[in-house]
Amino acid sequence: MNAPAGRGWDKVEYWSSYFLLAVLGSVILTRLGFATVWSVPTLDLVLGSIALLLILASPWIARRSRTLRIGIVAYAAATQLVPMSVRHPAILLPLLGALIPVVITIWALVALSRKGRAGQGPRHT
């Protein structure tokens, strides 16, 4: 599996999205494994199984599509966060707190992606 040829930013996005998919896959697999120990709602089992299948198939179905990879990441994350937040609304406050470093990271990645664009002169500080 080769990274797409292109700018360095494309390689960073490519490998970071697959790393994130691997982390999400391990979380979902662990959660599905605990279904044998604790009772897990059927909806969570179905959504988690679909997400795990998509994650496992993503090297083939989303190999060249950034949008599809991001969609799979979003779906897999949503299958873990949304049902839990609906059942236990008190979890929303820590999730909102965790959103702060995520927003900072996304802002930094967007800033880095714009740094090397053609047509922009060097920045002077």
pLDDT of residue 46: 93
Please tell me the distance from the alpha carbon of residue 13 to that of residue 113, in angstroms, as a whole number: 10
Asked if residue 3 belongs to a domain, the reply is no
Asked if residue 98 belongs to a domain, the reply is no
Asked if residue 33 belongs to a domain, the reply is yes
Across residues 33-42, what is the average pLDDT?
Answer: 89
Q: What is the share, in percent, of the chain residues with pLDDT greater than 70? A: 84
The number of distinct structural domains making up the chain is 1
Q: Which residues contact 56 (CB under 8 A, 6 or more apart)?
A: 25
Asked if residue 95 belongs to a domain, the reply is no
Inform me whether the pLDDT recorded for 1 exceeds 80: no
Across the chain, mean pLDDT equals: 83
Across residues 24-37, what is the average pLDDT?
Answer: 91
Across residues 36-44, what is the average pLDDT?
Answer: 89
Q: What's the domain range around 47? A: 8-88
Asked if residue 32 belongs to a domain, the reply is yes
Inform me whether the pLDDT recorded for 118 exceeds 60: no
pLDDT digits (tens, 9 = 90+) for 95-117: 899 889 988 988 887 787 777 65
